[in-house]
Structure 1
């Protein structure tokens, strides 16, 4: 409370600001009393101001947000957990949607590549790639899919298996193995009869060389753990002998002395 420095007649002299604060608020203007809009706005403003005071609704929510920075997940308010989960799920959905668009654009780009590139079968890569193109083109004639789409999917499977297998992904390595087996089968069926064995063998060697990177770190040697168990059962044999000795019978003066001590 603000006061002046000099008292008057032994009493405190209130300042002008103190008296001004004690005055009642002025009544609203007559033109505003007949309009419900300004009165509603005034009530909303008062409710907003009251909610930010100590113990108000917004004040408590702000305190919960401030305390959530230093609290564990179980101590955080439920509405903060719900908001965080909803935001995380929304972010995952957006990422999956973006990943689907990227994968679709990649497949469309690969499908646009004509399937006649390298179709003459010249060179080492043409010897392996040409039978695959021929086999896929023959099979696509009986399916409702373009040969270029099949060839693009075959390329994408091999690329994903090679890259994912290099980073140790088990699913990518399985896809790489199926990709190699399927490629060898297609080359065997579509290669010319005279050079079928040579084309298949050349493809097997190329696939084996690429498997050095795709199957990096994979071993068929069984892993044997020679660590002794932490808790070894211990046997401590002990021999227990139970002997029953007869109680001595008191006689004579000793019996009288025992009764005398009991008294």
Structure 2
């Protein structure tokens, strides 16, 4: 009996199609009596009911699904692994496709913003923001992008780096440092020559104040972890001395080689 399922108790588990084929054939009836469809429906219902009984095809599949919740990945049935992988890959493809559409729509929206150099150059923020607008507008004239799109991207990068740095992300803190240095360079380049130093210094001070939040918890002191040693070494010196065996009392002056004088 061909089957793709694992044997149960040394016997192969019949599939639903095999159970349907093993049903006793219906007695020959005429097509005109209207009972042929009823008999096929009865056979299908009987095969369905038998497959849900203990040891049936659908019963075994349901048991595998129920046991998969508590089993490891290597113990799960192969068809469940295949379904999970297919579903996961489909979800990843859908997410990537959606993310690509969102990114394309955002970039198209930024590019569609009309070019404008307008901006309030009064006040503290205007003293810092207006030179950046002028610098980006001057550079956008040589690029195929609107100045407003460059300015929006500059703002987005600064806000994202500030939030990421506040969350103690190393990459965001590096981006925050680069964003601040680039902003100071743009302000120094586009600010009026008479107030260039004041505008750049004011921007540096504002950037330093914002860095309190972006670089919170950052320290230049080396972190030393004092952990007790896991293994203790107790040096010991072992001396092995060989003590000679004591000699007999009569052998203090060597062997007895003196014999009495005989006449």
Shared fold per TM-score greater than 0.5: yes
Partner of 1:155: 155
3-state SS in 2 of match to 1:121:
coil
With 177-186 and 40-49 compared, the bigger mean Cα shift is at 40-49
1:82: Cα distance to partner?
2.8
Partner of 1:133: 133
| Number of equivalenced pairs | 223
1:215: Cα distance to partner?
1.1
| Separation (CA, whole Å) in 2 of partners of 1:82 and 1:169 | 37
3-state SS in 2 of match to 1:223:
coil
Distance of aligned partners of 1:221 and 1:189 in 2 relative to their CA distance in 1, 3 Å threshold? same
| Separation (CA, whole Å) in 1 of partners of 2:26 and 2:185 | 95
| Separation (CA, whole Å) in 2 of partners of 1:39 and 1:244 | 110
Tell me if the contact between 1:111 and 1:152 (Cα under 8 Å) persists in the aligned partners. no
Q: Deviations over 1:13-68 (max 9, x none)?
A: xxxxxxxxxxx998353227999977776665554344323322221111111122
With 134-143 and 70-79 compared, the bigger mean Cα shift is at 70-79
Q: CA RMSD in A?
A: 3.3
1:79: Cα distance to partner?
2.2
| Separation (CA, whole Å) in 2 of partners of 1:233 and 1:100 | 60
| Separation (CA, whole Å) in 2 of partners of 1:35 and 1:244 | 116
Relative to the length of structure 2, the TM-score reads 0.71
Tell me if the contact between 2:115 and 2:146 (Cα under 8 Å) persists in the aligned partners. no
Tell me if the contact between 1:115 and 1:151 (Cα under 8 Å) persists in the aligned partners. no
| Separation (CA, whole Å) in 1 of partners of 2:25 and 2:39 | 15
| Separation (CA, whole Å) in 2 of partners of 1:26 and 1:43 | 8
Relative to the length of structure 1, the TM-score reads 0.71
| Separation (CA, whole Å) in 2 of partners of 1:46 and 1:120 | 82
